[in-house]
């Protein structure tokens, strides 16, 4: 029967002990690299030097990861996750940065699974933070390349990680909007709004989404909220008025226009809309005043000239229905004014069929058959 010598037993024990010590020392080397990295960061060392330190740490963590014992240590994976994530945000080589971004994500999953007592939570959280910075950089690249689907997928994760970051929330919403994921866009626009964003464009985007979902009251309320934060913003006010008109809230629209004109007296569109609303209520004299205000700002304002011509025609028809002795004289006066306004409109836009048709009606009433024939010939040319 052979015997194992004491010397052989001693060598075996020493070899086993050295191997275990070696693997534990790899974890220590990886751990020390984190300290060295922070010293380098504080000293504002060049990225190349930081990457050198990170390379040493990664090499050590991967050696520890391959050992049967230390690969079960959550610290092994937490250190690798942190070091890999940091490489992913400072390495100028996009391919290498992406490689370590993927390694970091895998290492984070392993660290979380093994770290039952959360002893390495600070390292893991730091790695997750870095991964989200990398995601944001990738998302910005995707957005700039019009790859909005990928940009949204990445930005969603980052915005959920930094929920108070309003710029992120808006960018996430815009990416979703660009792929017509309007419900998702709504979530992130609302997040930005709830976190204090006052930009008028945000409220317009929110309102537009509500309109697309046929939630018109919410759309109106959103614009009202925006106007409270941005009093008399021209774009918001115009959107609000148009939305009121679309929903037949004419009285509210008139009041908003009146209040806005007190501080924005050079807005030709508001004067035009004010005139148009009163014209629809057969308040022709008020409409005429409003159109003249618009034309005093822009004498070539086609819409105002055309609508004023229509308003004069309406006043002429009202005069004919009156019981006064001078109704014929009033009719002629209003028809003449309508003719002048519509001729000016026709001069500005000679291809507008509605203007030509109204002039034909006026000249028919005036029995100016030569003009009627001339304008009818023009209509045939269109």
Reported as a pLDDT band with limits 50, 70 and 90, residue 22 is: low
User: What number is the average pLDDT over the span 200-209?
Assistant: 97
pLDDT value at 11 more than 50: no
CA–CA dist 85, 225 (Å, integer): 42
Question: Given the structure tokens 């100028």, which residue do they identify?
Answer: 92
More confident residue, 32 or 18: 32
pLDDT value at 327 more than 90: no
Tell me the per-residue pLDDT of 237-282, one tens digit each, with 9 for 90 and over: 989 999 999 999 999 999 999 999 998 899 999 999 999 999 999 9
pLDDT value at 298 more than 80: yes
In this structure, are residues 55 and 80 in contact, taking their beta carbons and an 8 Å threshold? no
pLDDT value at 18 more than 70: no
pLDDT value at 222 more than 50: yes
Share of the chain above pLDDT 70, in %: 93
User: What number is the average pLDDT over the span 55-60?
Assistant: 96
pTM of the model: 0.79
Reported as a pLDDT band with limits 50, 70 and 90, residue 232 is: confident
pLDDT value at 19 more than 70: no
C-alpha distances out from residue 52 to 42, 88, 171, 183, 381, Å: 16, 14, 35, 46, 79
Reported as a pLDDT band with limits 50, 70 and 90, residue 325 is: confident
pLDDT value at 335 more than 70: yes
In this structure, are residues 240 and 263 in contact, taking their beta carbons and an 8 Å threshold? no
Q: Which CATH number applies to 283-382: 1.25.40.10, 3.20.20.30, 3.40.109.10, 3.40.50.720?
A: 1.25.40.10
User: What number is the average pLDDT over the span 15-36?
Assistant: 73
User: What number is the average pLDDT over the span 95-119?
Assistant: 97
Question: Cβ atoms within 10 A of the Cβ of 251, count?
Answer: 11
- What pLDDT is attached to residue 12? 41
Reported as a pLDDT band with limits 50, 70 and 90, residue 14 is: very low
Share of the chain above pLDDT 90, in %: 87
CA–CA dist 33, 265 (Å, integer): 68
Backbone dihedral angles phi then psi of residue 353, each to the nearest 5 degrees? -65, -35
pLDDT value at 15 more than 50: no
- What pLDDT is attached to residue 380? 82
The DSSP element (H or E) to which 44 belongs, if any, is none
Sign of CA dihedral 96, 99, 104, 107: negative
- What pLDDT is attached to residue 16? 38
More confident residue, 168 or 234: 168
When mean pLDDT is compared across 216-220, 244-248, 298-302, 373-377, the lowest value belongs to 373-377
Reported as a pLDDT band with limits 50, 70 and 90, residue 23 is: low
Axis crossing angle, helix 268-280 with helix 302-321, rounded to the nearest 10: 20
Mean pLDDT, the chain, rounded, equals: 92
CA–CA dist 267, 241 (Å, integer): 13
- What pLDDT is attached to residue 5? 41
- What pLDDT is attached to residue 218? 97
Reported as a pLDDT band with limits 50, 70 and 90, residue 110 is: very high
More confident residue, 114 or 327: 114
CA–CA dist 362, 343 (Å, integer): 11
């Amino acid at each position: 029967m052979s015997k194992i010598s004491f010397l052989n037993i001693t060598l075996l024990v020493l070899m086993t002990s050295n191997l275990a010590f070696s693997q534990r020392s790899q974890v220590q080397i990886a751990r020390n690299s984190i300290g060295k990295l922070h010293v380098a960061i504080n000293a504002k060392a060049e990225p190349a030097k930081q990457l050198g330190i990170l390379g040493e740490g990664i090499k050590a963590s991967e050696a520890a990861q391959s050992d049967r014992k230390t690969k079960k240590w959550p610290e092994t994976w937490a250190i690798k996750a942190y070091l890999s994530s940091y490489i992913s945000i400072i390495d100028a080589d996009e391919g290498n940065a992406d490689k370590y971004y993927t390694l970091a994500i895998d290492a984070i999953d392993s660290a979380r699974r093994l770290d039952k007592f959360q002893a390495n939570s600070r390292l893991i959280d730091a790695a997750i933070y870095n991964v989200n910075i990398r995601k944001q950089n990738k998302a910005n690249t995707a957005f700039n390349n019009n790859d909005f689907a990928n940009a949204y997928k990445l930005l969603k994760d980052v915005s959920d990680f930094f929920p108070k970051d309003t710029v992120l929330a808006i960018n996430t919403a815009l990416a979703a909007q660009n792929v017509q994921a309007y419900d998702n866009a709504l979530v992130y626009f609302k997040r930005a709004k709830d976190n204090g964003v006052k930009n008028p464009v945000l409220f317009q985007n929110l309102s537009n989404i509500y309109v697309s979902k046929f939630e018109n009251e919410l759309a109106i309320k959103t614009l009202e909220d925006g106007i409270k934060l941005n009093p008399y913003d021209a774009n918001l006010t115009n959107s609000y008025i148009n939305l009121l008109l679309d929903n037949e809230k004419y009285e509210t629209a008139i009041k908003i226009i009146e209040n806005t004109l007190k501080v924005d007296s050079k807005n030709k569109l508001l004067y035009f809309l004010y005139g148009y609303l009163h014209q629809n209520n057969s308040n022709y004299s008020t409409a005429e005043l409003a159109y003249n205000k618009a034309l005093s700002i822009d004498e070539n304002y086609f819409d105002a000239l055309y609508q004023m011509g229509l308003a004069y025609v309406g006043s002429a028809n009202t005069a004919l229905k009156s019981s006064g002795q001078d109704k014929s004289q009033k009719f002629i006066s209003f028809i003449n004014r309508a003719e002048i306004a519509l001729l000016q409109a026709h001069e500005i836009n000679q291809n507008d069929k509605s203007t030509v048709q109204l002039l034909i009606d006026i000249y028919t009433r005036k029995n100016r058959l030569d003009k009627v024939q001339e304008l009818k010939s023009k209509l045939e040319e269109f």
